[in-house]
Every structure is written in structure tokens, then in C-alpha cells.
Structure 1
Amino acid sequence: MSYTYQYPRPAITVDAIVTAERNGEQWVLLIRRKAYPFEGKWALPGGFVNMDETLAESCQRELEEETALTGVVLKQFYTFDAVDRDPRARTISVVFTGQIPEPVPVKGGDDALEAEWFPIISLPEMAFDHREIIQKFVMEII
């Protein structure tokens, strides 16, 4: 199916904040980006929504493709819509959250060089607005 519109349209993405507890501390799952933009920087697992899937389905798919993590119950958290959040195009991200009991082994895949757990209070250099997304999550949820 082809889509033609008179006016430009924003792209829709999803991102997953997956947390776990280790030694009384909250950890968050991140991926290292393989490609432009922000190649080599850390980010939340996520990506563009396909035309034939819901936001939740897209988030589950991206989480599995980029980290090999499955079976996480995800709940919609917040929509981030700053005009300049992605240098490629006008992009709106719907962020989902999920929690598992403890960090489990993960493996980078698809467009992620690697996947790793980080203490949520000690984040590496992040891509896009993902540090601010995590900060909002910490302020409102944790």
C-alpha cells in the first residue's frame, strides 16, 4: 500500500526502558548504536514503527531484535515530541517501561553493536534525548 500526503508527516518510533534490581540498585538496559546518527553512543532499545504493527508490538519487536530479551511486560509511559530530538527527521517517540527481577544476559543484535545493563544513576554518554527520557522516568516512577 502506498501513502501520499500533501503535507510532511513525522516519523513514529518506540523506545523501551527496561529496569532490573541488583544489590538494591536499579539498573537499566541500553544498547550501543551501530549506525548514524550517534554511532557508538548508548541508547534505549527501540526504533521505527512498522506500518503493520501496533506501538506495543513494535516495542516488543525492537527490544528482542536489539537485545535478545523477550517476555517483558511493557506499559506505555510517555510520548517525547521535541522538534529536534532526531537529526534525521521530525520524530516522535512513544516510550514504554518494563521491569524484570534482576539483570539477565543480553546480546546486541540488528542495529545494536552490543547490549548492556547500567546503573540507572550512572549512565554513559547517551544518544538522542535518551538521558532526559531516563531522568523523567526516574523522577516520576522510581
Structure 2
Amino acid sequence: MTHTYKYPRPAVTVDALILKKTTAEVLLVKRAGKPFKDCWALPGGFVEMDELLEDACLRELKEETGLVLNQVEQFQVYDGLERDPRERILSVVFYGFAEKDAEVKGGDDAAEAAWFKPDELPELAFDHATIIRDFLKRLGQ
């Protein structure tokens, strides 16, 4: 499928907000490349032309952390005009829950992957601190 447009349009990414079921720890990855190299962020990335959003999220989650989930649920779309310094990007955020003993490791363009307590999060890339705060507020935490 090829499209040609005269006007600029945003790119679409997905982010995975994954919590451990019993501890509510948040899964983060340390970015291996620019922008925000060496900063922590939610696992995620660009949607490929031939994949559905949920599939893209599950793929990025596996590639960046080794964690395999069967499904995630859509939370919200983040569309801040300057949320990414590369270009105009809309991010569809999905959430899911992992078992308390879920192990993760950095892969693909993630240098590391680790679990963090919600009240002990490191400085985060993009608008990911806002995303996590919004989600935890919705959960009532």
C-alpha cells in the first residue's frame, strides 16, 4: 500500500505501561540511542505499516525487554505538540500486568530494562512521567 500526501502528517508510536501484579512496579527501559540516550522510558516504538497497534505494542515490549504478554489494553493517546524532538508523534499507550516474578532484560534499542517502584521512578524521557502519573491516578493510586 503506497500513499502520497501533499501535507505533513504525524508519526504513530506505541508505549507499553506494564505493572507487576502484586507490587505495582513499573517496567522501564534505558534508551540506547538518541533522543534521550541513557534516560529511562516506557518500552515502545514506531508502528510498522503492516501491523495493528496492539500487535506493535506487544512486539516492541518483547524486543526491548524480553517480556511476552498475550494482550494489553489501550489506555490513552498522547499528542503533545513537542513530546518528541524528532518530529510530530502521536503515541498510543497500552497497559498490562506482569507476574510478580517476571524477569526482563534490555534488548533491541534498549540498553537495560528494569522494574521501578512508582514512588522511586528515575527521570524519564519524553512525557512518560506524565503518562505514568495519569495512569496511576486513574487506578486510584
Partner residue in 2 for 1:5: 5
Residue 59 of structure 2: which of 58, 61, 79 is its match?
Answer: 61
- Which deviations, in whole Å up to 9, do the C-alpha atoms of 1:101-126 show, x marking residues without a partner? 31421110000001000001210010
Q: 3-state DSSP class of the match of 2:7?
A: coil
Give the whole-Å Cα distance in 1 for the aligned partners of 2:59 and 2:103.
Answer: 18
1:128–1:103 CA distance, 2 compared to 1 (3 A): farther
Tell me if structure 1 keeps the 8 A contact 2:69–2:98: no
1:127–1:73 CA distance, 2 compared to 1 (3 A): same
Output the TM-score relative to the length of structure 1.
0.94
Q: 3-state DSSP class of the match of 1:121?
A: helix
The 5 Å alignment of 1:23-102 reads 25-102=23-100
Unmatched runs of 5 consecutive residues or more in structure 1: none
Tell me if structure 1 keeps the 8 A contact 2:13–2:44: yes
Equivalent position amino acid for 1:14 in 2: V
Give the whole-Å Cα distance in 2 for the aligned partners of 1:111 and 1:72.
Answer: 22
Tell me if structure 2 keeps the 8 A contact 1:13–1:91: yes
Partner residue in 2 for 1:114: 112
Q: 3-state DSSP class of the match of 2:13?
A: strand
Equivalent position amino acid for 1:47 in 2: G
Give the whole-Å Cα distance in 1 for the aligned partners of 2:110 and 2:90.
Answer: 20
Q: How far off is 1:21 after superposition?
A: 4.2
Output the TM-score relative to the length of structure 2.
0.95
Structure 1 segments, 4+ long, off by >2 Å, are: none
Give the whole-Å Cα distance in 2 for the aligned partners of 1:136 and 1:10.
Answer: 23
Pairs aligned (count): 140
Give the whole-Å Cα distance in 1 for the aligned partners of 2:2 and 2:87.
Answer: 20
